[in-house]
Amino acid sequence: MEKPLLKIGVLGSGKGSNLQSIIDNVAAGKIPARIACVISDVTDAYILERARNHGIEAIYLPPGRYKTRLDKEAETKYVKCLKDRGAELVVLAGFMRMLKEDFINAFPNRIINIHPSLLPAFRGLEAWKQALDYGVKHTGCTVHFVELGMDTGPIIMQAVVPVEDDDTPETLHQRIQVEEHKIYPEVIRLIAEKRTELVGRKVRIR
């Protein structure tokens, strides 16, 4: 008997390049999962178009009155939408709003995010530009579980990207995204195969 596929709900606000890498890996049979839906807080976000192009349910849900987070009513609708579609893992793919306690408690240790720096360094927006401005020699990307703090959850996997002398914010971001598209699908595969274990704040991979 075939093992049941992990059902994923994806949240995103922008172009959805990480969604595309996940779709491609699922289609290639590399991830034992199914994308149940893609939800965006932006009506014309290209991530929704990517989903439709692959026959995945694409949903716009209004975020409410705040700029940086969902309001309580919107949060309830997002959680219900995901639960109604059987989502077992929530994947943030460029979702530009903080999730609050009710949302996180609805999916305990089942929400993941990818951030374009080697956390805990350079949290928040445009982390690649922060790294370049600071003058570090290496940066990268981090997949982590989501908790109430901004980019503070337990780290699952990281990839290192060297910073070149002639890098611009655009060239550095592009190289970071190449690594993002490798490690995000890999983490989802490990979770789908039940090979991750959270012990305190440390994530063990079997």
The reply to whether 115 belongs to the active site is yes
Q: In which element (H, E) is residue 21 found?
A: helix 17-27
Give the separation between CA 163 and CA 161, rounded to whole angstroms.
7
Q: Which entry of 54, 115, 144, 173 is annotated as an active-site residue?
A: 115
Peptide bond into 120 cis (omega under 30): yes
Q: Which helix (H) or strand (E) holds 105?
A: helix 101-106
Of 133, 112, 113, nearest to 122 (Cα)?
133
The DSSP-derived string for 113-141 is EEESSSTTSS-SS-HHHHHHHHT-SEEEE
Which tokens sit at 83? 């639960």
Q: Please identify every residue annotated as catalytic.
A: 115
